[in-house]
Structure 1
Amino acid sequence: MKHKLVFLGEQGTGKTSIMTKFIYDSFDEDYQATIGIDFLAKTFRTNGEIIKLQLWDTAGQERFYSLIPSYLRDCSVAVIIYDITNKESFTKVDHWIDCIYNERGKEIVIAICGNKLDREDQRKVSYDEGKEYAQKFNAIFFETSAKTGENIITLFNEICKKLPKDNNDNKLLSPVEIESPSENYGKKHFCR
């Protein structure tokens, strides 16, 4: 069973970094801006079923906005990333919500993620602002640091809890086992 997750947000918010931290447990200070769309995948087993998460990384530049609706059409989850040190990236979350609703309606899992917790001293968007905003849309909410890995596995665990059992019904998956590729390799993390 495969599930398509589309990552949305302004340029420089850390979409690529979050995906790379989740898949490879690595972080690069010098990422190049995504051009158009990029793709990563992670496969794991739960209760005898193979689950494949397809992570679609969209470019945050406005010139690529026209590509995004076609990727949203068949996705299971839309993940909106903003930078907690950049208020404008947070105000643009409205644009991404509108884009999702225009393409998919309200029958989609949405996660809103404030990234760059490692820059807490430069924070411009409070935790409460992000959480309250996400609650208006019944969205999953987390703050993360792609640099340190803080809450990255937890974010994906919460997303997994909301995945439909298959692409044709709304039953939830059984607990999903996600391995952390960090120095604690071998330690298991579970979605319930």
Structure 2
Amino acid sequence: MLQFKLVLLGDSSVGKSSIVHRFVKDSFDEFRESTIGAAFLSQTVKLEKHQDVTIKFEIWDTAGQERYKSLAPMYYRNANAALIVYDVTQPGSLVKAQSWVEELKHKVGDQDLVICLVGNKLDLCEADSSVRQVEIDDAQTYAQEQHLLFHEVSAKTGAGIAKIFQEMGEKVYERKTAESAASAATQPRKTLNVELQRPSTNDSTSCCA
């Protein structure tokens, strides 16, 4: 089974932990306490596009409080995938998510990382459209410009959660498979050295002796 490291980044209270717990445990806690430092969870995903392929995500859920921000590089280092989460009901939340995207691209590079921009708390907008503070078109346009995956979800209802990790799993697997194929293609071919045995001129049984 292939294992991939996935990190969640975003400001406090955007719902990173709720997204992870909905994915891993299919549960939601309205009064979940803020993460301190980081939390580790894992979950497997059976890919839909690639039959018989199951991958395991090793998930680091980082704290969003400013005092823990300096610890983030320790968790996103060597990551294969990242979820950048913002709150669709909070003005300025997308801007803060964009700063995480810029940091990742600067420190890690998007060539080695599958990044998904995720707008959480969609259920609040569906109940009352006036609470939306981040327009989906703005977030989607930014994601397209930066070549990011993009989803709006609700950790509370579970809407869209499984689709995030399914799509990220597909992208990470395809990228790693392509890298392995490219690496194999650049390896020098081994030449087979075959020496034909010739009759020895010192052989007394030779006709020419």
TM range (shorter): 0.7 to 0.9
CA displacement at 1:22 relative to structure 2: 0.6
Tell me the alpha carbon deviations over residues 115-140 of structure 1, each in whole angstroms, 9 at most, x when there is no partner: 00111021101111110111111100
What is the aligned partner in structure 2 of residue 135 from structure 1?
144
Cα RMSD for the two superposed structures: 2.0
Matching of residues 16-165 of structure 1 within 5 Å? 16-44=17-45, 47-107=51-111, 108-120=113-125, 121=128, 122-164=131-173
Residues 11 and 124 (structure 1), Cα distance of their counterparts in 2 relative to 1, 3 Å cut? same
Q: Would you identify which runs of 4 or more consecutive aligned residues in structure 1 move more than 2 Å?
A: 43-50, 164-172
Residues 168 and 73 (structure 1), Cα distance of their counterparts in 2 relative to 1, 3 Å cut? farther
Q: Distance in 2 between matches of 1:98 and 1:45?
A: 31
Paired residues of 1:43 and 1:51 also in contact (CA < 8 A)? yes
Q: Per the alignment, in what secondary structure is the counterpart of residue 23 of structure 1? A: helix
CA displacement at 1:52 relative to structure 2: 1.1
CA displacement at 1:95 relative to structure 2: 1.5
Q: Per the alignment, in what secondary structure is the counterpart of residue 89 of structure 2? A: coil
Q: Which runs of 5+ in 1 are unaligned?
A: 173-192
Residues 44 and 77 (structure 1), Cα distance of their counterparts in 2 relative to 1, 3 Å cut? closer
Of stretches 88-97 and 5-14 in structure 1, the one that deviates more from structure 2 is 88-97
Tell me the matched-pair count. 172
Question: Which AA in structure 1 matches 2:41?
Answer: L
Paired residues of 2:45 and 2:165 also in contact (CA < 8 A)? no
Q: Which has the larger radius of gyration?
A: 2
Greater percentage in helix: 2
Q: Which runs of 5+ in 2 are unaligned?
A: 182-209
TM-score by length of 1: 0.83
Tell me the alpha carbon deviations over residues 29-61 of structure 1, each in whole angstroms, 9 at most, x when there is no partner: 001000001011013556555521111100001
Of stretches 158-167 and 146-155 in structure 1, the one that deviates more from structure 2 is 158-167
CA displacement at 1:170 relative to structure 2: 3.3
Paired residues of 2:115 and 2:149 also in contact (CA < 8 A)? yes
Percentage of matched positions with identical amino acids: 41
Greater percentage in strand: 1
Paired residues of 2:45 and 2:169 also in contact (CA < 8 A)? no
Question: Which AA in structure 1 matches 2:20?
Answer: M
Paired residues of 1:72 and 1:103 also in contact (CA < 8 A)? no
